[in-house]
């Protein structure tokens, strides 16, 4: 099993996770072209993907979703709240029927030979989720945009071979920096970022 960050940060997030037989993306917050280039570097084609897992509907996580999924018709998995958020995203465009599949936090499901365990995260979005994925005794997890962590999160991130977390602010730099007050409060809050 391998995990590779194709892009991360506030300009766009896209992570590849897969086994020899199953290829998944977590989030598609970059352009279709950049997703294709990232996959190509991993020797994978868009039409070989088995699923796209979405963590939440902020544009830096779904920007490329409409264009990419229209071209390759890859099934999309997200919580009902996130699906609602995706459908109301203005940059989405027309979605082919039957591509969006609701999944629920703490209810595992399988895609090919990968078991996916979605878990709830604290972030200012509509029912955001992180994903723990297991295959052949190996496990990895993606937990980006986490406002805080607690027992529940620690439990879900135990015994992993790799985890992709995001901790993108320095409290002092943020406080003295030029962001407006509301944005500083949002980033520092329990529903912002670590």
Q: How far is the CB of 55 from Zn ion (least distance, A)?
A: 8
Nearer to Zn ion, 36 or 57 (CB): 57
Q: Give yes or no for a contact between 82 and 58, defined as CB atoms under 8 angstroms apart.
A: no
Task: Kindly identify the residues of this chain, within the stretch 56-75, that bind Zn ion according to CB under 5 A.
Answer: 58
**Phi/psi class of residue 68: alpha, beta or left (left: φ > 0; alpha: ψ in -120 to 50)?**
alpha
Q: How far is the CB of 56 from Zn ion (least distance, A)?
A: 6
Q: How far apart are CA 84 and CA 127, in angstroms?
A: 10
Q: How far is the CB of 119 from Zn ion (least distance, A)?
A: 16
Q: How many residues bind Zn ion (CB under 5 A)?
A: 2
Nearer to Zn ion, 18 or 85 (CB): 85
Q: How far apart are CA 27 and CA 181, in angstroms?
A: 29
Nearer to Zn ion, 11 or 110 (CB): 11
Q: Please identify, among the stretches 69-77, 101-109, 143-151, 152-160, the one whose residues bind Zn ion according to the rule CB under 5 A.
A: 143-151
Out of 145, 146, 164, 192, the only residue in the binding site for Zn ion (CB under 5 A) is: 145
Rounded to whole angstroms, what are the CA distances from 50 to 18, 30, 42, 168? 9, 19, 15, 30
Q: How far apart are CA 52 and CA 75, in angstroms?
A: 6
Nearer to Zn ion, 34 or 193 (CB): 193
Nearer to Zn ion, 134 or 145 (CB): 145
- Helix/strand/coil for 15: strand
Q: How far apart are CA 119 and CA 174, in angstroms?
A: 28
Q: How far apart are CA 126 and CA 144, in angstroms?
A: 15
The contact mask relative to Zn ion for 40-59 (x = CB under 5 A, - = no) is ------------------x-
Binding residues vs Zn ion (CB under 5 A): 58, 145
């Amino acid at each position: 099993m391998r995990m590779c960050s194709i892009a991360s940060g506030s300009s766009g997030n896209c992570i590849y996770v897969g086994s020899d037989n199953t290829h998944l993306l977590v989030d598609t917050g970059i352009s279709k072209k950049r997703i294709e280039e990232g996959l190509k570097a991993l020797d994978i084609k868009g039409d070989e993907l088995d699923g796209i897992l979405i963590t939440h509907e902020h544009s830096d996580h779904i920007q490329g979703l409409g264009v990419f999924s229209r071209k390759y018709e890859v099934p999309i998995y997200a919580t009902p709240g996130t699906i609602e958020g995706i459908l109301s995203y203005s940059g989405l465009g027309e979605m082919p029927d039957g591509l969006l599949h609701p999944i629920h936090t703490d209810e595992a499901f399988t895609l090919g030979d990968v078991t996916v365990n979605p878990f709830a995260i604290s972030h200012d979005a509509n029912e955001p989720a992180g994903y723990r994925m297991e295959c052949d005794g190996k496990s990895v997890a993606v937990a980006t945009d986490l406002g805080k962590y607690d027992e529940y999160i620690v439990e879900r991130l135990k015994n992993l071979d790799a985890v992709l977390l995001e901790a993108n602010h320095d409290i002092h730099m943020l406080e003295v920096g030029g962001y407006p007050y509301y944005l500083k409060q949002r980033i520092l809050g329990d529903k912002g970022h670590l």
